[in-house]
């Protein structure tokens, strides 16, 4: 089993749609959780940190369920510019931080 698993994708959605990304992690000792966005041929950029209480940033909502070891990202009213690969990232602190990336889910938003 992979340490961090994401929906394989790709997701193809029309503008304005709501898109949900799912991610599960295997290590219950995981401490920090993030969603990164990566555009084609570019470096990943932090989209949101994910907290147990859930957090929202405009059209983006991230949630964490520690009991289920599950992380989600919801994009509402999707825009063409949201097209990218979304990476679920989990960090462990095992004497030093270890960062584990999911394989990413590709999103295509079409007009």
Partner 1 sequence: GAVVSQHPSWVICKSGTSVKIECRSLDFQATTMFWYRQFPKQSLMLMATSNEGSKATYEQGVEKDKFLINHASLTLSTLTVTSAHPEDSSFYICSARARAGVETGELFFGEGSRLTVL
Looking at the Cβ atoms of 40 and 111, the one nearer to partner 1 is 40
Closest contact distance (angstroms) between CB of 80 and partner 1 is 21
The smaller minimum CB distance to partner 1, of residues 28 and 43, is found at: 43
Q: In whole angstroms, what is the distance from residue 95 CA to residue 52 CA?
A: 23
CA atoms lying within 13 Å on the CB side of residue 78: 22
Q: What is d(CA 24, CA 73) in angstroms, rounded to the nearest whole number?
A: 12
Which residues of the shown chain bind partner 1 in the complex (CB under 8 A)?
Answer: 31-32, 34, 41-46, 49, 87, 89, 91, 93, 96-97, 99, 101-104
CB of 45 to partner 1, least distance (A): 7
Least CB distance from residue 16 to partner 1, whole Å? 27
Question: Which residue is listed with tokens 């929906």?
Answer: 7
DSSP 94: S
């Amino acid at each position: 089993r992979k340490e961090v698993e994401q929906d394989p994708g790709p997701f193809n959605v029309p503008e304005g749609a709501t898109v949900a990304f799912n991610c599960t992690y295997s290590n219950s000792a995981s401490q920090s959780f993030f969603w990164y966005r990566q555009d084609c041929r570019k470096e990943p950029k932090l989209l949101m940190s994910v907290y147990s209480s859930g957090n929202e940033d405009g059209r983006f909502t991230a949630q964490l369920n520690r009991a289920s070891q599950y992380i989600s990202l919801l994009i509402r009213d999707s825009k063409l510019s949201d097209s990218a690969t979304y990476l679920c990232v989990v960090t462990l602190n095992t004497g030093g931080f270890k960062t584990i990336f999911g394989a990413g889910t590709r999103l295509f938003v079409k007009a």
